[in-house]
Structure 1
């Protein structure tokens, strides 16, 4: 699997990329800066040598989140895509933005001091998709599925697709 090509991109499809190998050092970062950048409780990251990473559509916008780190994201939809130590020859890819995030399993966690203390309770949370959803929840989930404007999880020649009349 180490010779596979991994593609990914933002939610709207304005920025797409390809990594020439599986990201290494796959991990989950719980630090407060990653929480804010992801708008989530943690950020999954994996390293790719900059020579093996190609932007195939658009260009990320970069935010210098500290004196040593910059973060790349899509300026159009806001999807976090990259984390880079300034001057490093590697770029961290946000693993959730891969077309196949299931193929890169994190091997460790960093900044555990900031992890959510209730993570071990997650398996016990109600799952409305499992059959006990209210009719209102089911209708809302279905409306989102059939009307979403999210780029598909594969490369496309153009996006968004041309509208036909």
Structure 2
């Protein structure tokens, strides 16, 4: 069991989570697509008792069976929490160090956008090599974002 931290983009909402493996999953259901504006979302499923909030997220009752935690200031999606369940999902991207997680399954595949899953054949570029974007960041804050 390792303790990991995470939170929203603006830093208002922070959490600590006890994590016992590197397994995560992708959800493709229409509700997750609408909640995030993406074609899927990566989640880490944990016991609710293994998550400690420094500041509680804002919550939206996204359906009669669950609510979603998020930050009203910056809009970061943070959780999916089914009512009357001892487990919850944290968004993989909200962890401070999400790189160790590995997808082990797909959920909600009835809404799967397969063309978006394996895009490794497409051209790729690094943010720090986009001179126009780098210059805008340097002019405003003197560094690239984390």
TM-score range, shorter chain: 0.7 to 0.9
Find the aligned partners of 1:95 and 1:5 in 2 and give their Cα distance: 14
Q: What's the C-alpha RMSD, in Å, of the aligned pairs?
A: 2.6
Q: CA 1:102 to 1:114, structure 2 compared with 1: closer, same or farther past 3 Å?
A: same
Q: Shift of the alpha carbon at 1:117?
A: 3.1
Q: 1:32 aligns with which of 30, 40, 47?
A: 30
What TM-score do you get using the length of structure 2 for normalisation?
Answer: 0.85
- For residues 102 and 40 of structure 1, the distance between their equivalents in structure 2, rounded to whole angstroms, comes to 19
SS in 2 for 1:64: strand
Q: How does 1:91-130 map to 2 (within 5 A)?
A: 91-119=88-116, 122-129=119-126
* Alpha-carbon spacing, 1:149–1:12, altered in 2? closer, same or farther (3 Å): farther
What does residue range 10-89 of structure 1 map to in structure 2 within 5 Å?
10-22=8-20, 26-56=24-54, 58-89=55-86
> 1:77-113 deviations in whole A, cap 9, x for unaligned?
0100010001111111111111111111121001112
Task: Please say if residues 22 and 104 of structure 1, whose CA atoms lie closer than 8 Å, have aligned partners that are also in contact.
Answer: no
Compare 113-122 and 34-43 and name the one that shifted more.
113-122
* TM-score (structure 1 length as normaliser): 0.76
Runs of 4 or more, structure 1, over 6 Å off, are none
Q: 2: distance between equivalents of 1:23 and 1:48?
A: 10
What's the CA shift for 1:24?
A: 7.2
The CA deviation at 1:59 is 2.1
- Mind listing any 5+ residue stretches in structure 1 that lack a counterpart? 153-165
**CA drift at 1:120:** 5.4
- Please, which runs of 5 or more residues in structure 2 have no aligned partner? none
Confirm or deny that 1:9 pairs with 2:7.
yes
What is the aligned residue count?
Answer: 144
